[in-house]
Structure 1
Amino acid sequence: MFRTAQGRKRLFFALELPDTLKQALLARPLPLQRGQAVPAGHLHLTIRFLGDVDPANEQKLLEFCRQFRLASSIPLLPDKFDCFPTRSRARSFHLRLKPVPELLELRDCLNGDWDRLSSNGEGRPFRPHITLCRMRRVPTAEEFRQLDDWAAKQRLPAAPATVLTLFHSFFRDNRLVHAPLATVKTRGTD
């Protein structure tokens, strides 16, 4: 669990997954006994993690969302399955996405002024990915073989994302909740 400073909210911007990609990811359960699959409602592509944000800056973010529109859909192109931080120290399993120009432009747009608004100046490189599972322990060689077999059988579609959401992440009853605070849609969609 994480702790949020008094009076602040843990916020992040994420692209919501198109149904076709989400359904394909959920079609076959992961063969991992040492991990916990990410719930279907939490599958997303984090574009910008903001960290603990105070109420005044939360209002600035909400105003930004009211005025901002995605110029076009963002292509989500599956690349490969991988682990963070590495296979030998795996703590999560994810689908890496190709860093297409539209995705990088959106990331750059959301990086701009937000560093000074939040407690989290993200200094790490952007590696677009969808977390599928959090691991309690590093998988054994046999479990990795099963996971690699599972990954080889996946046929994931390229799909356009059309909704960017500002989420509030918190725990309620020992469960992680991602509550949407505001959504931004592609121009021409409601």
Structure 2
Amino acid sequence: MHRLFVAVDLPDKVKKSVTDIRCELPGARWVAEEQLHLTLRFIGDADELTMRAIKTAFKELTSPAFQLALCGIGHFPPGKHPRVLWVGMTVSEQLLALQQQVELALLEAGIPLEGRKFSPHITIARLKETPARLVIALEEKEKAFASEPFQVTQFHLYSSTLTGSGAIHTRQASYPLIF
């Protein structure tokens, strides 16, 4: 079985700008720079046959390349004790269209539709008993955060192996977008 997700990678320069947000924050487990990505869809466990069906469905997907820029910082769940710290992004109709095409391709491959609405973000830290006031103070300090725009030219199918020191992501396949 493979634990799968679909993602857009970030350029190294953008990853570096995100990791510059890091600070002393009790209970924060920061995501490693090389692991930062934009998840289009978490799939979960899939056997070899299902993974092959997903790869085949993604080969048929055609979507234009587009620009994206990260901006803002926040946490999940909103209005409750923070569990995830994230960086947001500018509104992108092209990103939403790509995510919708990914969702439909997965449906074709036998994966049920995602029950939650797509909320584009980059997870930058997982929080455990981090005082909400400290999270809010960091969000206030970094509210002007913005990356340089970058070109999204492909998306990827990843497998994820959970370990005691965090997840290890392995790229299974890449899918180019149209210029």
- Which category of TM-score, normalised to the shorter sequence, fits these structures? 0.7 to 0.9
Partner in structure 2 of residue 16 of structure 1: 9
- What is residue 123 of structure 1 aligned with on the other side? 115
Aligned partner of 2:101 among 87, 106, 109: 109
Say whether residues 1:133 and 2:125 are aligned partners: yes
Work out whether residues 84 and 92 of structure 1, in 8 Å CA contact, stay in contact via their aligned partners in 2: yes
1:65/1:183 contact within 8 Å kept:
no
Counterparts of 1:36-115 in structure 2 under 5 Å?
36-68=29-61, 70-72=63-65, 74-115=66-107
Structure 1, unmatched stretches of 5+, are 1-7
1:66/1:108 Cα in 2 relative to 1: closer, same or farther (>3 Å)?
Answer: closer
Match of 1:30 in 2: 23
Amino acid at match of 1:37: W
Deviation of the 1:185 alpha carbon: 2.4
The TM-score with structure 1 as length reference comes to 0.81
Determine helix, strand or coil for the equivalent of 2:126.
strand
TM-score normalised by structure 2 residue count: 0.86
Task: Give the paired residue count.
Answer: 178
**Against the structure 1 CA distance between its residues 87 and 139, is the aligned structure 2 distance closer, same or farther, given a 3 Å change threshold?**
farther
Residues 101-146 of structure 1: CA distance to partner in whole angstroms, max 9, x if unpaired? 110110110111424623x6411111100000000114242x2354
Rounded Cα–Cα distance in structure 1 between residues aligned with 2:178 and 2:145: 32
Q: What's 2:153 paired with?
A: 162
Q: Secondary structure at the match of 1:88?
A: coil
Residues in 2 aligned to 1:153 and 1:31: alpha-carbon distance in whole angstroms: 19
Q: Is the 8 A contact 1:31 1:147 kept in 2?
A: no
| Unmatched segments (≥5 aa) in structure 2 | none
Q: Quote the Cα distance in structure 1 between the aligned partners of 2:9 and 2:138.
A: 25
Higher alpha-carbon deviation: 177-186 or 125-134: 177-186
Q: List 4+ stretches of structure 1 deviating above 3 A.
A: 64-70, 152-155, 172-175
In 2, Cα distance between the equivalents of 1:155 and 1:108? 25
Over aligned residue pairs, what C-alpha RMSD do you find?
2.3
Residue 171 of structure 2 is matched in structure 1 by 180
Amino acid at match of 2:22: P
| 130-139 vs 145-154, which moves further | 145-154
